[in-house]
Amino acid sequence: MTQGARPDSAEAILARHGKSFRFASYFMERDDAHDAALLYMVCRELDDLADQDMPTEAENADAHRRLMAIRGELLAGAGSDSLTHVLIDLQKRRGLDTRAAVALIDALIEDVRTPALIQDERDLMRYCYGVAGAVGVLMCPVVGADDSAIPHGIDLGLAMQMTNIARDVREDADMGRRYLPAEWIGHLAPEEIARADEGQREQVARAIDRLLTRAEAYYASAADGFDRIPGKNRRAIAVAADVYRAIGFRLRRERLAWWQGRVHVPLPGKVWLATRRLSGRGAIRASDREDHNAELHRHISDLPGAHAPGNA
């Protein structure tokens, strides 16, 4: 864990931990790609601080205190922490909504404080917003998108997080976590998922398929917002979406054998998807709505950037 945000390390952190987005960032405007890498680095370091995975309890306590201090500084609009400095700088230069950064911190803290046992669809969508939809809010101004793109940016974060959950079911269960809604899987506990029999494996597979189907509506809404992003950045975000969505397709191609562990999209697959996108044949089909579908945000409408009822 690094102790401060160093701009020269942003791309290195992105290369290690955000391979799909790193691949897509090659298609972005250079300055925007650097700011996006800075934002990713801050989000990654906030996640590390929240993880409570330091060598000693004293270090864990220090990390939590620092995280709460950053939260307070963001609410105050100023502070001394290096991560706060990066976010406030991006706010001043790019129009970043720091309320979304506070929402991200709150979600990261809650995810560690209370072992994840998602109960229903509302829990699922609010969790996905906190750890990923909020990042969509933060990323929109960095890629030059106008405010009308923000609900669509949230939807891309939600879709990607649903893909993450589908990919990581076995790994999460081994750590005592369950992000699939309990009501979708007969209230199986993580321990039961980890040692599932054939019938339970099929039950979980059906829930994963349901989650991937739900993610499709959010990827389509995200695609509705692509034309609100300028130039090269539009192509980059679309490539990132295509690559991430392909994880779900690989899961389905492998017959949803989630108990065998993670699936990945290899580099040749990423290149193929990028080539198709750049030639005008992107994998994700937009819903072709002229306005954002508020129903997609019915569980998160009170959160920063989300489509509230009655708002266009």
Report how far residue 114's alpha carbon sits from residue 295's, in angstroms, rounded to the nearest whole number: 28
Q: What mean pLDDT comes out for the span 2-21?
A: 56
208 CB contacts (<8 Å, ≥6 apart)?
Answer: 166, 169, 180, 251, 256, 258
263 CB contacts (<8 Å, ≥6 apart)?
Answer: 167, 247, 250, 251, 254
Domains and CATH numbers, the chain: 7-297 (1.10.600.10)
Q: What is the b/e burial string over 34-50, where b = at least 16 CB atoms within 10 angstroms of the residue's CB?
A: bbbbbbbbbbbbbbbbb
Q: What mean pLDDT comes out for the span 34-45?
A: 92
Q: What mean pLDDT comes out for the span 248-264?
A: 95
Q: What mean pLDDT comes out for the span 243-265?
A: 95
Report how far residue 239's alpha carbon sits from residue 80's, in angstroms, rounded to the nearest whole number: 36
- Of 149, 136, 154, 134, residue with least CA distance to 36: 136
Looking at the predicted structure, is the pLDDT value of residue 155 above 50? yes
> What was the pLDDT predicted at 216?
98
Spacing of C-alpha 66 from chain mean position: 23
- Counting residues of the chain whose pLDDT is more than 70, the rounded percentage is 93
> What was the pLDDT predicted at 19?
65
Question: What is the per-residue pLDDT across 270-288, written as a single tens digit (0 to 9) for each?
Answer: 999 999 998 988 889 899 8
Contact 222, 198 (CB under 8 A): no
> What was the pLDDT predicted at 17?
54
- Counting residues of the chain whose pLDDT is more than 90, the rounded percentage is 82
Q: Which two tokens stand for residue 37?
A: 């890498």
Looking at the predicted structure, is the pLDDT value of residue 91 above 60? yes
In this predicted structure, which of 87-91, 113-117, 214-218 has the lowest mean pLDDT?
113-117
DSSP letter for each residue of 227-282: GGS-HHHHHHHHHHHHHHHHHHHHHHHTTT-GGG------HHHHHHHHHHHHTT--
Question: What is the per-residue pLDDT across 96-115, written as a single tens digit (0 to 9) for each?
Answer: 999 999 999 999 999 888 87
> What was the pLDDT predicted at 53?
82
Answer with the residue of higher pLDDT: 219 or 23. Answer: 219
Assign 1 a pLDDT band (cuts: 50, 70, 90). Answer: very low
Eight-class DSSP state of 129: I
> What was the pLDDT predicted at 3?
43
Assign 4 a pLDDT band (cuts: 50, 70, 90). Answer: very low
Q: What mean pLDDT comes out for the span 202-231?
A: 97
Q: Which two tokens stand for residue 119?
A: 């109960």
